Structure 1
Amino acid sequence: MLGLEKYIASTSLDPVHKELIKIRASQVNGCAYCINMHTADARKLGVTEQRIYLLSAWRESDVYTEEEKAIFALTEEITLISQHVSEETYENAAKFFDEKYLAEIIMMIITINAWNRIGIATGMRAV
C-alpha cells in the first residue's frame, strides 16, 4: 500500500482531484475515518465547504466541472465494480484526460478503495 501511495505522489494528478476522489470513494464505501481525513486535506488545499458538502450529490450540483463529474462517475463505477467500467463512462472521461492521466486517476481510485477496506475491516473511527 505504501508503494502505491509513493507512486500516486509522483504522478501528475491534480492534488484537488486526488482529494475529491478519496472523499467520494470513501463516501460510497462508508469509511468515516477516510472521509474525515480527506475532507480536512481538501480544505487545506482550498476546496470550499460547499464543494465538500455537495460531493455526495454531484450529479445534481453545478459546483463541479464536467471534468470533475467524469472523475466522479469513474470513481463510483470502479468503487462499485462488478464487471468493468462501462464504455460510456470511460469514453466520457477520455474526452477530458489523456491516457496517462486516466491511468493515474484509476490508480488513485483503486488505492483509496484499498485503504477504505483496511479502515472498515479494522474498525477505524473518525476522530
Structure 2
Amino acid sequence: MARVSLNPRRSPFLRVTEWYAKRTYGKVPDPVRALGHNPRVLRADLRFELAVGKWNTLDPDLKALAVMASAASIGCSWCMDFGYWANRQRGMDARKVHDVPAWRESDAYTPLERDVMHFAEAVTANPPEIDDEVAQRLVTTLGEAAFVELTAMVAVENLRSRMNTALGLTSQGFKDHCEVPARGQAKASATAE
C-alpha cells in the first residue's frame, strides 16, 4: 500500500501531467500521483526523465535489460510491471522481458546480455560489487560512451526503484494490458463476442 495518498491536490500542472500520462500510457502512473504532492519534485523528475529519454548510445534492448535487472534486484514491483509493459509495447521479445528476475537460469540471453544484467546487479548492490572482468568486456564490446550510458541507466533505475519502493508503490497492472494474443486467439475471441 502506498505510503502517501495517490490523490494530491490537482493543480493545473498536475492536471496537464495527468492528461499527458493518460494519453501516453492509458492511465496515470502512480509515481506521478505520489510525486504530485510536491510539484517541484514532480517537475524536476519529469525534466530529468525527458533528458534520460534522449540518451541513445546504448542499444534499447540492452538498456531495458539493465533497467529491469536493477529493478528486480531492488524488488520494485511497480518498475517491473511498467518495464514489462513498456518493453513489450516497443516490441522486445516477451521471454527476455519475462525471464529477467531469473536470467541466470534462462537460456533466452546472449553472453553480452548476461554481462549487462550481471553488471546492473553489481552496480545496484550495496555497496556496489563491480567485477572488473565483466566491466572490461562491456567497455570493449559496447565502447566507452555506451558503457557510460549503461552505468548511468542503472543509477537512474536505482533512483526510480528505490523511490517507488520507499513510497510503497506496487504493481499497477500495466503488464495485464500488454499481452499480445497468440495467432488465431484474437480471431477466436472476436468471434466469441
Residues 62-89 of structure 1 show CA distances to partners (whole Å, capped at 9, x for unaligned) of 2212221111111010011415522122
Asked if 1:93 corresponds to 2:130, the answer is no
Secondary structure of 1:76's counterpart equals helix
Matched positions, count: 127
Q: Secondary structure at the match of 2:109?
A: coil
2:78 corresponds to 1:33: yes
**Which structure shows the higher helix fraction?**
1
Q: Which runs of 5+ in 2 are unaligned?
A: 1-44, 173-193
Shift of 1:44: 0.8
Partner of 1:82: 127
* Kept after mapping to 2: 8 A contact 1:79/1:109: yes
Aligned to 1:71: 116
CA deviations 1:90-120 (Å, max 9, x no partner) are 1121231100000000000000011111101
| Structure 1 residue ranges (4+ consecutive) displaced by more than 3 angstroms after TM superposition | 1-4
The letter for the 2-side match of 1:79 is: T
SS at match of 1:59: coil
Amino acid at match of 2:134: T
Q: Distance in 2 between matches of 1:89 and 1:117?
A: 25
Task: Provide TM-score, normalisation by structure 2.
Answer: 0.60
Q: Which residue in 2 is equivalent to 1:107?
A: 152
Task: Give, in angstroms, the shift of residue 52 of structure 1.
Answer: 1.9
2: CA distance, partners of 1:4 / 1:98: 24
TM-score (norm 1): 0.88
Q: Which has the larger radius of gyration?
A: 2
Match 1:49 to one of 66, 79, 94: 94
For 1:87, give the aligned amino acid.
D
Q: SS of the counterpart of 1:10?
A: coil
Structure 1 unaligned spans of 5+: none
Please say if 1:120 is aligned against 2:136: no
Q: In the alignment, is the contact (CA less than 8 A) between 1:70 and 1:89 conserved in 2?
A: yes
| Residue aligning to 1:10 | 54
Cα offsets for 1:9-38 (capped at 9, x unmatched): 222222222222221111110101111001
Query: Once the two structures are aligned, what percentage of the paired residues are identical?
Result: 24
Residue 50 of structure 1: CA displacement? 1.5
